[in-house]
Each structure stands twice: as C-alpha cells, then as structure tokens.
Structure 1
Amino acid sequence: MGITSAWAISAHEDDVIAELAPRFLPVIEAERNDPAARRRWDAWRRAPLPDYRTWYAGDDGAAASAVESFRELTCAGERVIDACYGGGEDDFYVVDDVWGRQADPAGMFLAVHSKEYAVASLFHAIGPRRAAELPGWCGDFLLDSHEVRRSLPRVEAALTFDLRQRVAVDDQDWLDYLPGEENVVDGPVRVWRHAAAEGLGLCGLSLHLY
C-alpha cells in the first residue's frame, strides 16, 4: 500500500513559532543527531547519487544500497510525524494547528505527492553542498523572524541557479506537477522571502498524510 506525503513551509508570527517550539525543536534535533541519519548524510555527501533514472538499472548491490540509504535519509522522520499528530490526550493535529493558522497563500508552500517525498527530489536535484545550506534537518525546521532574515541569503544561494544549472536541477527533480503548481525549487525560496519581508517566522515539516 502506498503513502501520500506532504512537505509544507508555513509563515507565522513569532508567538506561534514560540508555541510550536517545545513540540518540534526537540524532535528535529533528535532526527539530526540520530547516528544512523548522520551516517546516511555523510555517505550521500561523500558520494552524491547519479541520474535517478539509472538507480535501479543493473545488479549493483552497493549502488542500490546507496539509493535506499538516501531515500531513508530524506523521507519523513518518525519522531516528527509523531509530533505532528499528537496522540492520547493531546489532540494536536498539524493540518489544523499549524497549516490552518496560515490563511494567506503567500505565506504557505505545500507539496503533496503520492508514493514520493518532495524533500528527496529537491535534495537529489540540488546536491548535498546546496542542501547543507538549508536550515534544520532534511526539510524540518522551526525559525523565528530573526532566524528567517538571517538565513535568507543562504537559502537564496542554495536555491538560485544560472540557466545551465537550472536545466540540470529540473532534469533531476522527478516529481510530477499539476499545471500552475509550485515546484520544490521555487516554492521554498518564495515563501522564505515573503516571511523575511513581513517579519514572520517559518515552520517546515515533512510527513505522511496517510
């Protein structure tokens, strides 16, 4: 049975970011500091993957293991997923309690895909050097307005390309988009600029919807 994943970046006032911080910052740090995750990151950094269309061609076990390691690295983290859905007496639900608090489309980037992870496609397309410039861990982050402004130049540098580079990036983004849908390269930097201009913080979360 397949999954449907979502990666969302939403802009909020600093008081909302402060409210969300106890829930999300510890689990994002736990994902970042997980030894297996660090090994996967280091392996990808040392040996970025080739053209995604070659990943499952042939019988190279080491190559297949590298692909699966990268997919595990960039899929939604279980700790973050658990925090998004609450449980027990905690009726927190990310759709209502985070995304539903941003009614302005300019303050939201949302990528929903069946059987794919948006962060995986973005990270493969831009490579580990640029991905390392993005705050947080593999698409998950929580930043107040000061941190958004401070990080904007790094995010712009990571997600800005000359024509040749952009062609190569688009070629390696394997996601399918509906007409007019924002892609994983343009959406994050657009909402980052919006938040910086409006004095807002940002919440980035990657998870399973079902």
Structure 2
Amino acid sequence: MGFTSAWAITSHPDSFISDLSPRLLTAMEADRTEPRAQQRWERWQKAPLPDRRTWYGSSGLTAADGAAVESFRELTAPGLNVDDMCCGTADPDFYVVDDVWTDQPAEGIFVSVNSKEYAVSSLFHAIGPARAALLPGWCGNLLLTSAQVRETLPCVERALAFTGAERSAAEAQDWLYYSPREESVLDGPLRLWRAAAENGLGLCGVAVHLS
C-alpha cells in the first residue's frame, strides 16, 4: 500500500508558537513517551544499522538486521498522535498544511515530501544515532520558542555540520531523491535553524502522512 509523507520545519514569531503549543506539545510528548517508541530508540542507539546498500539485493539481511531495520522505520515514521493532530483527525479545525505551512516564504520553511519514504528515516540513518540524539524534539517533531532555538543551535550544528569525508559518508546513506530545486535533509534543517536564530524566530517541525 502506497503513501505520501511530508516532514517540514517552519519558522514563526513566538506568538504563533504559543498558539500552536496547546495542540502540538501534548501530541509530541505522547509520541515520545510511548513505551514501544522508547524501546525502538534505545535499540537503535545501542546498535546502529548496517550500510543501507546492504538492505536490498540477492544477499539480503540477516533476520536480526532485518528486524532492526523494521524497528528503525517504525521509530522514524510519523508518530500516531502528531499525525492525528496535524491531519484533522483529532481536531477537524486544524490541518497543518493549511494552518502552518501554507504561505510560508522560501526562507521560512524546509519541507521534504516523499512517496513511500520518510524523510526523518533517511536523515537519521545518514547521520547516525549519536548525531540524531543531539537534535531537539522527537524524531523530527519539535516546537521551540526563539530562545530555545538560540539555545539549541550549537547542538544542531554539531549534529548537521560535516567535514568533506563525513558529508560524503552521510550522502551515501541518504536514500531520498532530490530535484534541482529541493533541499537535502542534510542541508535544510540547519539552514532554517540558523536563520531562525538570527531573526529571533521560533520553529515548528512536524512529520505527517499526507495520504
């Protein structure tokens, strides 16, 4: 069964972040503290996945590695509570595409839309568990005030800044396709974080199923 997913990070004044808080923070925390999600996170932190180029092909994976890949995909898929909240299921008066993403200027949004893929999965596998643990929020979902954006920027820079060799290694593990007008998951989040910190803005990040 096919699906379309999207992960977006958008920048906003603190007043807008405050308006979003009652809807999103509870859903984000529910996804983060769900016991199976915590188990999947701990499993990935303890045992990083093999090179993605070994996931397919005639040789395939061992049963243990295959189970680890599936656990990771479930970990980094959109969380049920945020998905329901952002797509009108939990609150029919709120739809993230219309109420948060629409009319954002290019400099105020990073978005990755994919068919049968999850942007957060690709990013996290590309950077590995140690770097992913530096990123605020939970598996791509976050809601930060301008002060929190400034406070967390050094950690985000450590997570998403690369030497030439590190960049090549990360790109080899990022399986998403990018058109000439699209930003990589390795570039867009850090670009937006830095701009928000410079301009005194907060950030909203959500990963959802569009269909």
Shorter-chain TM-score: what band? over 0.9
Question: For residue 205 of structure 1, what is the amino acid of its counterpart?
Answer: V
Question: For residue 118 of structure 1, what is the amino acid of its counterpart?
Answer: A
Q: Which runs of 5+ in 1 are unaligned?
A: none
Q: What TM-score results when the alignment is normalised by the length of structure 2? A: 0.96
> Secondary structure in 2 aligned to 1:98?
helix
Partner of 1:64: 66
Take 1:104 and 1:139, find their aligned partners in 2: how far apart are those partners? 21
Q: Which runs of 5+ in 2 are unaligned?
A: none
Per-residue CA distance 1:8-41 (angstroms, 9 max, x = gap): 0000010110000011111111111111011101
Take 2:113 and 2:177, find their aligned partners in 1: how far apart are those partners? 10
Partner of 1:192: 193
Do the aligned residues in 1 keep the contact of 2:87 with 2:210 (CA within 8 Å)? no
Structure 1 residue 144 corresponds to structure 2 residue 145:
yes
Per-residue CA distance 1:60-106 (angstroms, 9 max, x = gap): 21111000000000011111011102347732111111112x53210
Do the aligned residues in 1 keep the contact of 2:85 with 2:91 (CA within 8 Å)? no
C-alpha deviation, 1:48, in angstroms: 0.3
Structure 1 residue 135 corresponds to structure 2 residue 136:
yes
CA RMSD in angstroms, aligned pairs only: 1.3
Q: What TM-score results when the alignment is normalised by the length of structure 1? A: 0.96
Do the aligned residues in 1 keep the contact of 2:50 with 2:65 (CA within 8 Å)? no
Q: Identity, % of aligned pairs? A: 58
Report the CA distance shift for 1:10/1:88 in structure 2 as closer, same or farther (over 3 A). closer
Partner of 2:105: 104
How many residue pairs end up in the alignment?
A: 209
Q: Equivalences for 1:1-210 in 2 at 5 Å?
A: 1-56=1-56, 57-58=59-60, 60-87=62-89, 90-100=92-102, 102-210=103-211
Report the CA distance shift for 1:88/1:201 in structure 2 as closer, same or farther (over 3 A). closer
Per-residue CA distance 1:156-200 (angstroms, 9 max, x = gap): 110001111111000000001111310001000000011111100
